[in-house]
Structure 1
Amino acid sequence: MGQNIKLDKIDRKILEILQSNAKITNAQLSKEIGLSPAPTLERVKKLEVSGIIKSYHAKLDTDKIGLGVSTFVYATLKGHNRGNIDVFLEEINKIDEVIECHHVTGSGDFVLKVIAADIAAYQKLMLEKVSDISVVDNLQSMVILSTFKDSKVMPLSGGE
């Protein structure tokens, strides 16, 4: 796994603010953390270069863009070896509707988060793409009925 990078109180405050509002201007950010703009920008760049800040994204309303069905899918492979894992990951990465893929312990080998326009589109995707991956042994789907928490904000308590 990666190494922990030491963050001071100001770095943590920058990260908290950017997680809730990535579009904040450097001038406003500097005002909120109590530094002048130049050192604020320098700290943000350091956090980006170190890989702590990986990217910036717009969070979309899936219903408004016509993606009304979200599911979690447990995928079990025919054999849990490096070759099968590589084949699976190569194929999964070609499927845009698979928006998350996690290698897990437990009853399945992977948990996928899949998004589709509707149940018919989801069924077609599963039948024609996901279950067609040669190393897939079993798939178990769980349709998400409601989401009550969907935060991408990382807790930054602790530290200095």
Structure 2
Amino acid sequence: MDKLDRQLISLLQEDGKMTISQLADKVNRSTTPVYERIKKLEREGVIEGYTAIVNPQKIGLGLTAFCEVSLQSHKQSKLEAFEAEIRALVEVVECHHIAGSFDYLLKIQTANISTYQEFLSHKLSAVPHIAKLQSAFGMKKVK
């Protein structure tokens, strides 16, 4: 990975819809080597994909919650079972296995506090091996 690769990655992180021609202009190269670099970064898994950043409020998901989860056991089989259950919950938009006082940090998006409470009491609490949950709510997205 060299300086050009890093420049291209940075530009694509800012605007994933940027064309090869636009990228080439920004890095002062012709389109062919830029195209080849991008394809190489994709093949090597450096660029895993391209996504749209959606405003959650515009699609009816006005509440962002961060839920810290402690598990009853740290056996690999229990971690894997928990992760499989979490992957199936559409409300969970991110799940991170973390070090610290909790085992996982979940980012959850729902319409409002009532739908979050329903999600918590009917779906998340039904996931096996959970010992403790603690929630915090996003007030404003800064970055």
Q: What TM bracket, shorter-length normalisation?
A: over 0.9
Whichever residue aligns with residue 105 of structure 1, its letter is A
Residue 138 of structure 1 aligns to a residue whose secondary structure is strand
Q: Deviations over 1:75-101 (max 9, x none)?
A: 111111112111111110100110111
Runs of 4+ in structure 1 deviating by more than 6 angstroms, as ranges, are none
Q: Deviations over 1:62-115 (max 9, x none)?
A: 111110000111111111111211111111010011011111122111111111
Equivalent residue in structure 1 for 2:88, among 86, 94, 101: 94
Distance 2:19 2:142 in 1: 30
The residue aligned with 1:125 is 119
Distance 1:105 1:10 in 2: 34
Q: CA RMSD in A?
A: 1.0
**Identical-residue share of aligned pairs (%):** 38
Residue 101 of structure 1 aligns to a residue whose secondary structure is strand
Distance 1:96 1:120 in 2: 17
Q: CA deviation at 1:58?
A: 0.8
Distance 1:99 1:128 in 2: 18
Question: Is 1:73 aligned to residue 67 of structure 2?
Answer: yes
The residue aligned with 2:35 is 41
Unmatched 5+ stretches in structure 2: none
Equivalent residue in structure 2 for 1:25, among 14, 19, 43: 19
Equivalent residue in structure 1 for 2:58, among 52, 55, 64: 64
Q: Deviations over 1:100-157 (max 9, x none)?
A: 11111221111111110111111111111111112111110111112212xxxxxxxx
Residue 107 of structure 1 aligns to a residue whose secondary structure is coil
TM-score for the superposition, normalised by structure 2 = 0.95
Unmatched 5+ stretches in structure 1: 1-6, 150-160
TM-score for the superposition, normalised by structure 1 = 0.86
The residue aligned with 1:10 is 4
